[in-house]
Structure 1
């Protein structure tokens, strides 16, 4: 059976799915073990996240990594995502990036644990705690998996808790642009600046937007704000796109649809518009970050063709 030391590693799980006569029926799942509790285990597979009750597990074991370049790929994408969400207060701890932004979003207020912190791991964690404590903030560490599996293990020993699992999903823009477009939908207006209504819709989900939030949202040279309006000018959907990193990643964030306009295809409509905008600027791949528990959003992105590149856990003291 799997143990906490296996979290962050590639595993195969044989699951009991039924019984025919006196014979058990099995199915196998292969992926990264991202969570293990007393009752369940969670895998990030090529087709999405799978949660398996332990009572259904027949056998499970660790297997070799799929490919050797995973760590470099994770670091590259995480750095592009950090560039797309630029916290105004930053410091370096070796390769780790310490970030603060008046507590607006976990991404901008956590230490990004990628690379070598240039000191033993326990000393690095102590340094993170001091840095955030000096600023009157709760210490948070963003631990991408499987890259930061040793960090997660050390934080487990120290009693740090875990926020909901986040999926980092990716997709080639060429494939995204080939997805079927919705008919009869209002046009997507892509603007260099967000409207007051855009900020208001985002605030309904993210809470009040401090000045720091506006600095983050507008702090990327190549960014765009999507607006979809009805015939009366009412705002139906919004999103933000940003192109960053040497690989020219398109980062899609803050995709929101007004409650009365949901289930009409507006989310996919906006994502395609952002993909077209980014492709004209040399981007070939898109990524987004979504909490695994947000079933509706995960289902939308799966329908579009996004798959999980890696996951991350935000750890808190």
Structure 2
């Protein structure tokens, strides 16, 4: 049977799905173990997240990992993403990065647990809790998997909960541009150095009210661009943000949103193409984005234009009380 230290690793689970003519029927699932409680286990498979009650599990074991990027590549990408979404308050705990931004987005308000925290794991978690409590915020830890599997196991033991699994997906810009044909019949993608008021308004519909801290995060990157797509009457149809950061010149794509009336017309793909062209002109060759695994529509869109999962992460929340 699986144990807490298996969280973040690739596993195979054989579960009981029924009985036919006095024969027990089984189904096998292969994926990454993302949660294990006293009653259930949850794995992220290629078809989605699967929660299995433990009483249905016939057998379960860890299996060799699929081909994964080296740990150094995961760390480098996470650091590039941190530079592209810069929390105004940051502090170091060894190599870990403690971030606070008035609770606007989990990314900017969680400790990034990559590298050596320069103390025991238990002491590092205690220090994270103390730091966030001093800043008046609930402690959060961003744990990339399987790199931070020991962190996840330690947090499980402390009763920390997990937000939905996030996929960090990447694509090469050259093939991406080849997959997305320009569509002259669609409104053009406008790229601006700063967002318009209606850009902020569309983002606020999804992210909630944007405090000054949010504006600081969104605009506080040296190489950043804001995409707008407008209808003939000037109304906003789609927005997105692109930022190039890190020594590897990663293009980070975020906040891609399309107005409900403009969906399924190919506008989102044209926005991606516009951001990719902008980044390629600045020496970028690769793009990444972060999307919740349960957002199947977005995951499907990104897959069609060449994005694949590089690694995953869980945002862990300290128990209340």
Higher deviation after alignment, 1-10 or 91-100: 1-10
Deviations 1:282-313 (A, max 9, x none): 11111111112222212211222211111111
**Residue in 1 aligned with 2:247?**
246
C-alpha contact (below 8 Å) 2:193/2:226 kept by paired residues: yes
C-alpha contact (below 8 Å) 1:253/1:289 kept by paired residues: yes
**Residue in 1 aligned with 2:156?**
156
Distance 1:241 1:16, change over 3 A: farther
Q: CA deviation at 1:221?
A: 0.8
Higher deviation after alignment, 215-224 or 51-60: 51-60
Q: C-alpha separation between the residues in 2 aligned to 1:177 and 1:35?
A: 37
CA RMSD, aligned part only? Answer: 2.4
Deviations 1:131-168 (A, max 9, x none): 11111111111111111111111111111111111111
Distance 1:230 1:40, change over 3 A: same
Q: C-alpha separation between the residues in 2 aligned to 1:193 and 1:174?
A: 26
**Residue in 2 aligned with 1:315?**
316
**Residue in 1 aligned with 2:171?**
171
Distance 1:21 1:258, change over 3 A: same
Question: Does 2:258 match 1:257?
Answer: yes
**Residue in 1 aligned with 2:231?**
230
Matches of residues 131-210 of structure 1 in structure 2 within 5 Å?
Answer: 131-181=131-181, 183=183, 184-210=185-211
Deviations 1:215-245 (A, max 9, x none): 1111111110000000111100000001111
**Residue in 1 aligned with 2:93?**
93
Q: CA deviation at 1:32?
A: 2.7
C-alpha contact (below 8 Å) 1:249/1:285 kept by paired residues: yes
Distance 1:18 1:245, change over 3 A: farther
C-alpha contact (below 8 Å) 2:49/2:294 kept by paired residues: no
Q: C-alpha separation between the residues in 2 aligned to 1:296 and 1:42?
A: 20
Q: C-alpha separation between the residues in 2 aligned to 1:252 and 1:279?
A: 13
Counterpart of 2:64 in 1: which secondary structure?
coil
Q: C-alpha separation between the residues in 1 aligned to 2:110 and 2:152?
A: 14
**Residue in 1 aligned with 2:50?**
51
Q: CA deviation at 1:254?
A: 0.3
Give TM-score scaled by structure 2 length.
0.90
C-alpha contact (below 8 Å) 1:90/1:97 kept by paired residues: yes
Q: C-alpha separation between the residues in 2 aligned to 1:70 and 1:57?
A: 32
Q: CA deviation at 1:277?
A: 1.1
Unpaired runs of 5+ in structure 1? Answer: none
Q: C-alpha separation between the residues in 1 aligned to 2:26 and 2:67?
A: 27
Counterpart of 1:178 in 2: which secondary structure?
helix
Count of matched residue pairs: 315
Distance 1:187 1:19, change over 3 A: farther
Counterpart of 1:193 in 2: which secondary structure?
coil
Question: Does 2:266 match 1:268?
Answer: no
Question: Does 2:295 match 1:305?
Answer: no
Q: C-alpha separation between the residues in 2 aligned to 1:153 and 1:214?
A: 35
**Residue in 2 aligned with 1:60?**
60
Distance 1:175 1:279, change over 3 A: same
Give TM-score scaled by structure 1 length.
0.91
